[in-house]
């Protein structure tokens, strides 16, 4: 057989690629369930962390610990629409997680058709509303969870995560040091919704109730966090306002 002939080369490459493709597709399918579960556990950990509820349990399986704590503390989860109404469905908690797993698709819908998840946690009578936010950073998606106190004005905690921001710079948004700045900040100025601004320069947000310090060297990521919070929470605004009136 002539190994230099074009026919041989073409047949050889086709066979090789098909074999490799089948092998990879097979493993990807086999492992998909485990991988999806890891991603969901991570999201649940972040949700718990934003409300300051997650406790590591050394010695036990992390996945199990997260599941138990999530089921204990997250009392309600559901989708809300652009009018601020809770979307009725048979299993709202499952629907909420489903949308959370694909925020990008949910956000690409026109605002009137959009439905986004809300999580409500409760521990020792303290209620937190947790709003997921999602945006685009410098290199890829950035996302986070904003936990609000029951007055739905001030933030009780925030956790951010990212796909591939620059280590040491933009990636710093995922550190507790950045997230903790949000504690006690307000998304309202008087009665006006303003969201949270991310201001350049260390200390520039001092005394400002509606702002936090940006990451130095991570300007674009910081800006992404700011617009992600302002835009995403704006969608929840009708829901937030309705809850505020209901509470009064």
Partner 1 sequence: MSNKEKEPLFSAKNMKLLTGPLNQNNPITVQILGICSALAVTAKLKPAFVMALSVTVVCAFSNLIISLIRNTIPSRIRIIVQLVVVAALVILVDQILKAYVYDVSKQLSVFVGLIITNCILMGRLEAFALGNKPWQSFLDGIGNGMGYGLILIILGFVRELLGAGTLWGYRIIPESFYEAGYVNNGLMLLPPMALILVGIIIWIHRSKNKSLCEK
Q: How far is the CB of 62 from partner 1 (least distance, A)?
A: 9
Query: Does 18 contact partner 1 by CB under 8 A?
Result: no
The answer to whether 165 and 142 have CB atoms below 8 angstroms apart is yes
Task: Kindly indicate which of the ranges 21-29, 94-102, 226-234, 236-244 contains the residues binding partner 1, using the contact rule CB under 8 A.
Answer: 21-29
Q: Is 20 in the site for partner 1 (CB under 8 A)?
A: yes
Nearest approach, Cβ of residue 5 and partner 1 (Å): 9
- Between 115 and 165, whose beta carbon lies closer to partner 1? 165
Shortest Cβ 178–partner 1 spacing (Å): 18
Q: Which stretch binds partner 1 (CB under 8 A): 11-19, 69-77, 179-187, 191-199?
A: 11-19
Q: Which range touches partner 1 (CB under 8 A), out of 9-17, 150-158, 184-192, 229-237?
A: 9-17
Closer of 9 and 202 to partner 1 (Cβ) = 9
CB 159 within 8 A of CB 49: yes
Three-class secondary structure of residue 193 per DSSP: strand
Cα-to-chain-centroid distance, residue 40:
11
Q: What is the dihedral of CA 209, 139, 132, 233, to 10 degrees?
A: 50
Which residues ranging from 154 to 193 are in contact with partner 1 (CB under 8 A)? 164, 168
The distance of closest approach from Cβ of residue 116 to partner 1 in the complex, given in angstroms and rounded to an integer, is 25
Residues 118, 85 contacting (CB under 8 angstroms): no
Which residue, 241, 225, 230, 235, is CA-closest to 172?
225
Choose between 64 and 109: whose C-beta lies nearer to partner 1.
Answer: 64
Residue 3 sits in the site that holds partner 1 (CB under 8 A): yes
C-alpha torsion sign, points 33, 38, 39, 44:
positive
Query: What is the C-alpha radius of gyration for the chain, rounded to an integer number of angstroms?
Result: 22
Cα separation, 88 vs 123, in Å, equals 25
- Total site size for partner 1, rule CB under 8 A: 22
Per the CB < 8 A criterion, the answer to whether 98 and 40 are in contact is: no
What is the footprint of partner 1 within residues 23-52 (CB under 8 A)?
Answer: 23-24, 27-28, 31, 34-35, 38-39, 41-42
**Read out DSSP for 163-179?**
SSPPTTTGGGGGSHHHH
Nearer to partner 1, 87 or 169 (CB): 169
Q: Which residues of this chain interact with partner 1, rule CB under 8 A?
A: 3-4, 8-9, 12-13, 16-17, 20, 23-24, 27-28, 31, 34-35, 38-39, 41-42, 164, 168
């Amino acid at each position: 057989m002539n190994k230099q002939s074009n026919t041989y080369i073409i047949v050889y490459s086709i066979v090789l690629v098909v074999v490799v493709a089948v092998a990879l597709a097979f493993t990807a399918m086999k492992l998909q369930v485990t991988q999806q579960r890891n991603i969901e556990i991570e999201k649940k950990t972040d949700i718990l962390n934003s409300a300051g509820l997650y406790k590591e349990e050394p010695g036990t399986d992390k996945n199990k610990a997260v599941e138990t704590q999530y089921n204990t503390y997250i009392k309600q989860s559901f989708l809300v629409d652009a009018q601020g109404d809770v979307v009725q469905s048979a299993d709202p908690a499952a629907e909420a997680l489903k949308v959370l797993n694909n925020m990008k698709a949910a956000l690409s819908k026109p605002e009137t058709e959009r439905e986004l998840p809300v999580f409500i946690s409760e521990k020792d009578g303290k209620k937190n509303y947790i709003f997921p936010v999602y945006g685009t950073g410098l290199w890829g998606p950035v996302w986070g969870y904003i936990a609000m106190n029951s007055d739905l004005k001030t933030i009780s905690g925030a956790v951010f995560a990212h796909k591939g921001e620059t280590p040491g710079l933009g990636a710093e948004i995922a550190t507790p040091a950045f997230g903790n700045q949000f504690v006690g900040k307000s998304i309202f100025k008087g009665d006006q919704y303003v969201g949270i601004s991310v201001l350049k320069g260390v200390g520039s947000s001092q005394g400002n109730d509606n702002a936090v310090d940006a990451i130095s060297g991570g300007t674009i990521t910081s800006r992404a966090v700011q617009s992600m919070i302002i835009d995403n929470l704006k969608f929840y605004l009708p829901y937030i306002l309705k809850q505020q009136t209901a509470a009064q």
